[in-house]
Amino acid sequence: MSGDHASSTISAQVRHVESLLESRGLLDPGEIDTRIDEFLAGGTPANGARIAARAWTDPGFTDRLLTDANTAIREVGLSMAGGLQEQRLKVVANTPDEHHVVVCTLCSCYPIALLGPSPTWYKSEAYRSRVVRDPRGVLREFGLELPDDIAITVWDASAESRYMVLPRRPKGTDALTEPELTALVTRKGLIGTAAV
């Protein structure tokens, strides 16, 4: 039965194209797997945390990040290039009046380079379907109780576009250094299912 699954057909097609590219000398054998492994090895939530901490300490960087995230993250040595083309990154900032949360309703599109491999719950059907219908209830299940007067915006990622939440800087952290602030940021905070 599993041989009839749509993903099996797609996998076979991808392997065929990869073989053609290798036979014509356009790709070395195993090159795609090597590049995917390298990409995944570099992806960690610490990357997103560094971006958030820099934004909290540098208002100019924050402005650039919210305007053109792909360009801004290069300032801290990061990029969204993970395949043949760079994915579009949009960073959305939480405010006292608005909270953002990220989902991919179709599958599990996610900024791996900045947040590491996606958590299991992010890929689950329950999260993907419910967070768009009842974001406040889902966030409550994560332990994030938001007042009714805070608007919640849900961002739906796609194959071309990825989203990352810039959490609000915690109160009482003015004296902390950028590395100390980085240590406060969690992957859930960068997805929007937790506060920092």
pLDDT tens, position by position, for the chain (196 residues)?
Answer: 334 445 567 767 878 888 888 888 887 887 777 666 555 556 899 999 999 999 999 999 999 999 999 999 999 999 987 554 578 999 999 999 999 999 999 988 999 889 998 999 999 999 999 999 999 999 999 999 999 999 999 999 998 899 999 999 999 999 999 999 999 999 999 999 999 9
3-state class (DSSP) for residue 24: coil
Residue 30 shares a structural domain with residue 53: no
List the end-to-end C-alpha distance of the chain, in Å, as a whole number.
46
- Whether 61 and 75 have beta carbons less than 8 Å apart is answered as yes
Considering its fold, how many domains does the chain have in total? 2
Rounded Cα distance, 117 and 150, in Å = 29
State whether 33 and 118 are in the same domain: no
Q: What pLDDT does 29 receive?
A: 80
Print burial letters for 77-104: b (CB count within 10 Å at least 16), e (below 16). ebebebeeeebebbbbebeeeebbbbbb
- pLDDT for the residue numbered 38: 57
21 found inside a domain: yes
Same domain, 29 and 112: no
Residue 187, number of CB atoms within 10 A of its CB? 20
Tally of residues, the chain: 196
Q: Report pTM.
A: 0.79
Q: Give pLDDT, residue 1.
A: 36
Same domain, 21 and 74: no
Please indicate, yes or no, whether residues 50 and 32 belong to a single structural domain of this protein: no
Give me 48's structure tokens: 């997103």
Question: Hey, which residues are catalytic here?
Answer: 104, 107-109
Residue 10, domain extent: 2-38
Give CA angle at 176 (53, 58), nearest 5°: 40
User: What is the reported pLDDT for 82?
Assistant: 59
Provide the pLDDT for residue 184: 98
The three-point CA angle 183-46-52 to 5° equals: 70
Q: 192 near 132, Cβ under 8 Å?
A: no
Residues 16 and 48 in one domain: no
Q: What is the CATH number of the domain that holds 160?
A: 3.90.330.10
